[in-house]
Amino acid sequence: MRKPVALRLSAALGTLALAAATGVVLNMPTASAAAAGATGYATQNGGTTGGAGGTTVKATTGTQIHQALCARAATSTPITIQVEGTITVGNTAKVSGTGCNTAAGVIELKGISNVTLVGVGAGAVFDQIGIHIRQSSNIIVQNVTVQNVKKSGSPTSNGGDAIGMESDVHNVWVDHATLLASGGESEGYDGLFDMKDSTKYVTLSYSVLRNSGRGGLVGSSDSDLANGPVTFHHNRYENIDSRTPLLRGATAHIYNNYYVSLNESGINPRAGGKAKVDNNYFKNSKDVLGTFYTDLPGYWQVAGNIFDNVTWSQPGDENNPAGPNPTSNTTVSIPYAYTLDAASCVPSIVTATAGANTGLKVSDGNCAATTPTATPTSTSSPTTSASPTATSSPGGTNLSIGADSDGSSKASGTSYGNVRDGDTGTYWSPSGSTGSVSIKWGSATSVSRINLREASGATGNIGSWRVLNGDTGAVLTSGSGAGVISFAATSLKKVTFEITSSAAAPKVAEFETYA
């Protein structure tokens, strides 16, 4: 087993360590909750929406995070937990309840689904405590800092991983995170972003990974090969010894990342792992791509990358660097749409957007930073962006009459039943500017069209929306504005109309459904 070398830590890390030791929270700009949808492989396999459509709660300690999870009606009840302040081992206790399975000393997302954990206000710092995702799905972690998590020494948390995923995890989006350590394995730390034991459909975007012996892995051993696919884009890796990432048998799409000071090795596909490596910028680094520390080969497809002061070692029995002139030795098909920034602007655009407390800024695809508005999350099947125009009934039997209904929190004086009573004089309205309402049946019903009628005086209030298969959570279609919406005929027991933005208070008079 290769032993990690000592890290060449920057002076800035000393300041960070001092702040952590003294309990000082560095001043950070305010931040808000998630503003845009998932990207990359997290959009596949039904999509990743986290706690969308559920309640929102605030937490300032780890115990309060656990309490929010445990207070849910079920382990799948959607919830968004807004975190502000410093989370530590000392303020994170085990909590019991119907919606959770927690443990002390670690943020435990175990056996659950449909959760968003997002830093807000002055920022969320998980200091010496890791985030553990296990046997869970549809999870979003956004705008948080996780620092100095140890597997040895004191305190220990999460096996030394800043964010660790294992045991049948799927559809996770980690975005605008800052993951930091203060050294390598000999100093008590492990990986910053690890995935193992059947972890699938993950995206890491607009994040900073810094000052660690190990950036992260996909697959814990050469026999743990049922992980991935994973997307890494617009991340900054800096002062990392190796594993940016290590891919054991997994497929990864790696684009528009900025790598600075990779001290020993970088992207390391092995044991059949494949990496599509597009328009990245590598600077002041060594062996940034290849198969290292094993004789089990991996593969790569490369295009548009810039290698700025990169050195390459000589090939050997357990050392197969891709350089000094990297060429492709495989092809990787990507199933989702994406836009590449030019590699030449990657240092500037990633510096402007990546990490926690950057205002959730993203690239506009032309090397400029922008703050996104709420957008729907893609799914594994291409969806149409509907533009409804008709407001009259589309013809046929309105299947909503005689059905049942439910939804998210409703405004005072309104009812879910008002959307299925055939009376346009009554309506349902969410308690805020966004929310969801559903029509449901006792047995599977085929639906291919919806007619959304807004109440008198509220025409045009509904902005962007998504139509969801309430049985599976899959997005059937998305668009904006009320009217007739068509999509592929789907057999389901529940269909949900989710409003993700509005110009004013949305009021749904009728939610008509048709075969």
Task: Kindly tell me the number of DSSP H helices and DSSP E strands found in the chain.
Answer: 3, 35
Question: Does 329 have pLDDT greater than 90?
Answer: yes
Q: What is the structure's pLDDT at 16? A: 34
> pLDDT at residue 330 above 90?
yes
Q: What percent of the chain has pLDDT over 70?
A: 89
Instruction: Report, as an integer, the average pLDDT of 82-95.
Output: 97
Q: Which tokens go with 373?
A: 């508005």
pLDDT at 463: 82
Q: Does the pTM of the predicted model rise above 0.85?
A: no
Q: What is the pLDDT of residue 26?
A: 30
Residue 27 has pLDDT above 80, yes or no: no
Q: Is 365 left (phi over 0), alpha (psi -120 to 50) or beta?
A: left
pLDDT at residue 92, rounded to an integer? 98
**In contact, 70 and 102? CB cutoff 8 Å:** yes
**pLDDT on residue 376:** 35
The whole-number pLDDT of residue 331 equals 97
Report pLDDT digits (tens) over 201-234. 999 999 999 999 999 999 999 999 999 999 999 9
Q: Would you state the structure tokens that stand for residue 46, as one six-digit string?
A: 């039904």
Weakest-pLDDT range from 85-94, 303-312, 437-446, 470-479: 470-479
Low-confidence winner among 242-251, 261-270, 371-380 (lowest mean pLDDT): 371-380
Give CA–CA dist 411/499, Å, rounded: 14
How many residues make up the chain in this entry?
515
Cα 210 from Cα 372, distance rounded (Å) = 26
Specify whether the CB–CB gap between 453 and 421 falls below 8 A: no
- pLDDT mean across residues, the chain: 88
pLDDT category of residue 336 using cuts at 50, 70 and 90 = very high
The residues annotated as belonging to the active site are 243
pLDDT at 394: 65
Tens-digit pLDDT profile for residues 109-151? 999 999 999 999 999 999 999 999 999 999 999 999 999 999 9
* Structure confidence at residue 377 (pLDDT): 34
| Continuous segment of H or E residues that includes residue 15 | helix 11-22
Paired with 136 in beta bridges are none
Does the pLDDT at position 292 exceed 90?
yes
Q: Which of 36-50, 75-89, 176-190, 450-464 has the lowest mean pLDDT?
A: 450-464
pLDDT band with cut points at 50, 70 and 90 for residue 94: very high
pLDDT (tens digit, 9 = 90+) per residue, 383-436?
333 334 334 456 678 999 989 999 998 998 899 999 998 888 899 999 888 899
Give the model's pLDDT for residue 395: 66
DSSP 292: E
| pLDDT in the model for residue 2 | 42
DSSP-derived secondary structure letter, 192: S
